[in-house]
Amino acid sequence: MFTGIIEAIGEVAAMERRGDDLRLRINSGALDLADLKLGDSVATNGVCLTVIDLPGDGYWADVSAETLTCSNYDQLKVGTRCNLEKAMTPTTRLGGHLVSGHVDGVGEVLSRWDEGRSVRFRICAPAALAKFIAAKGSITINGVSLTVNNVDGSEFELNIVPHTLQETTLQEMRGGSRLNLEVDVIARYLERLLQGEQAAEKQSGGLGRDFLAAHGFLGGGA
């Protein structure tokens, strides 16, 4: 797990195709590698990658075909800059929100504009993810934990403060940029719980949410 607070900006140093998969070498920039070992995880532009080699100035990691399909990794090239964060520990301060490093889909920047000293982005998410995105809720963009300002269907807006722009690759994002999105994991678990509850109600025919709503016990009664 991660927090969405970026520790350093790295760079793709090498790429090797392995069938449908990809092997990456990431130069880690200012990321502290002293406590990193083989098998550890590093969120790289929001994707949880497992370290398979430590050449000294960075790390090698394998990327599966599935990850290539559901992320913006198909646009990577040597020299691409990446947001980096090592996995959290039991004593890590949770400055952002709980981030799994499992990208849910790719969004697109529709527009970018200055607002005071901050920058606003309007982003379009895949339709299937829209129900998980809520105003004032959390979302992860290229590994960065951010607060959603408002939502309009599958589109949402973010306000990025100067410090976050300076310390992440979000400063490079423009209209048309494709971004790795991870919705709040709590929202996903809630949906799953509700699906299970609704299935149980239908199977038992008992006193469930649908029954109560149909008989006026839920909703805007007087």
CA–CA gap between residue 93 and residue 52 (Å, rounded): 27
Domain spanning 105-186: which CATH class is it, in words?
A: mainly beta
Predicted local distance difference test score (pLDDT) of residue 188 = 84
CA–CA gap between residue 179 and residue 171 (Å, rounded): 13
Topology agreement, domain 8-86 and domain 105-186: yes
- What is the sign, positive or negative, of the torsion defined by CA atoms of 99, 71, 10, 155? negative
Share of the chain above pLDDT 90, in %: 78
CA–CA gap between residue 101 and residue 42 (Å, rounded): 9
Residue 221 has pLDDT above 50, yes or no: no
Angle among Cα 190, 184, 158 to the nearest 5 degrees reads 135
Each domain of the chain, given as residue ranges in start order, spans 8-86, 105-186
Band (175; pLDDT cuts 50, 70, 90): very high
Domain spanning 8-86: which CATH class is it, in words?
A: mainly beta
Terminal Cα distance for the chain, rounded: 45
What token pair was written down for 80? 């691409």
Higher pLDDT, 213 or 79: 79
Predicted local distance difference test score (pLDDT) of residue 93 = 84
pLDDT in tens, 84-128: 999 998 888 888 899 999 999 999 999 999 999 999 999 999 999
Predicted local distance difference test score (pLDDT) of residue 220 = 53
For 157, what's the count of Cα atoms within 13 Å in the CB-facing half-sphere? 13
Residue 198 has pLDDT above 80, yes or no: no
CA–CA gap between residue 31 and residue 48 (Å, rounded): 16
Residue 180 has pLDDT above 70, yes or no: yes
